[in-house]
Amino acid sequence: MEDDPIDFNPPTTAKTIDVNFDFMTARNEFDMSLRPFIAGVFDQDCPVVALAESIAMQTEIGTFLVTDATDKPEDNLIGFITLLPIVQGSHLNYPHVYLGAKGDISMINNSRAALFLCERVINMPSELIPHLHNQLILDLEWAEGNCEGLFCYDYVVSLSRCISTMPQTGAARKKRKTVVPDNLLFFRLEDEIMLRYAEESFLFESEASRSGYTGKSTDDTCSHKLVMIFSMRSFKQALQEVIKSYSSPS
C-alpha cells in the first residue's frame, strides 16, 4: 500500500480587506502629514512648515485623500491636490524664487500665478486619480462664483519628478526647454499627460535631498525635476485629459 502524497502547499483561505477612502476639505490637522510630501518636491531650503500650514488652512481650494477616516484622518493621508497662490514678499513666493533659479519662468512675472501640487503615494489605487483631479475642477468652479476673484489665476506652475535617460555629456543634461516625453520615465502617468498641454516646460537635475540623495541613479539615468507652465485654460484642459485617461476602460 502506497503512502498518500504529502501536499507541501496546503490550500489557504483568501482574505478580503476592505479599505474605505474619503475625500476631505482642508483642515489644520493635515499640517504635519503634508510635510513629507512637500519636502520631496523641493530642496533643503524649502520652508516646509510654512507651506504645509498654508495648504492645510486653505479651505476654499484643495482636497485631501485619506483611508479609513477616523477621529484623526490626518494620520491616514495618502494624497492631496491643491493650487497654492504665489505671493511676493512671503513664504508663498518660495516656489517662484526656487524655480526662477532653475530656468526661465518669466512668463508668470507680473501675473497672478499659482503652484499646482498633486502629491500621492505611488501605489494609490488608480481609480481614485480621476476623482482627485475632478475635485480640483469643482473647487475652482465654486471659487469663481463665491470668492470674488480671489482664486482667479493667469498661470499655473507645476513641479514633478522624472527619470531622464539622456546622455550625460552636454549642457542639455542639466536643462532642456520645451520638454518632450522622449527619454523620460515618469513616476506618475498624469504628469506625462499634463506635459502635452504645457505652454512652457524645462528640466533640471535633482539636487541633494533631505536624505542626502544626489539625484544620480546610474551611468545612464539621472533623476530630474520637470517644470510645466500652463495658462489657466490649458491647465483645466490638462485636468480633464487626466480624468478622461484614467476613466476610460483599458
Residue 208 reports pLDDT greater than 50:
yes
Q: What is the pLDDT of residues 68-126, one digit of tens each?
A: 756 777 788 999 999 999 998 888 999 999 999 999 899 999 899 999 999 999 888 89
The pLDDT of residue 210: 44
Residues 237, 41, 64, 151: is their CA dihedral positive or negative?
negative
Mean pLDDT of 7-36: 76
Indicate the pLDDT class of residue 170, thresholds 50, 70 and 90: very low
In whole angstroms, give the CA distance from residue 83 to residue 136: 8
Of the candidates 244, 239, 243, the residue with the CA atom closest to the CA atom of residue 198: 239
| C-alpha cell belonging to residue 224 | 530630474
The pLDDT of residue 197: 96
Domains and CATH numbers, the chain: 21-247 (3.40.630)
Mean pLDDT of 172-189: 68
Percentage of residues in the chain having pLDDT higher than 90: 52
| C-alpha cell belonging to residue 233 | 485654460
| C-alpha cell belonging to residue 4 | 498518500
Q: Which of 6-10, 69-73, 215-219, 229-233 has the highest mean pLDDT?
A: 229-233
Indicate the pLDDT class of residue 187, thresholds 50, 70 and 90: confident
Cα 135 → chain centroid:
14
Query: DSSP states of 98-161 as a string?
Result: HHHTTS--GGGTTS-EEEEEEEE-TTS-GGGHHHHHHHHHHHHHHHHHHSTTTT--SEEEEEEE
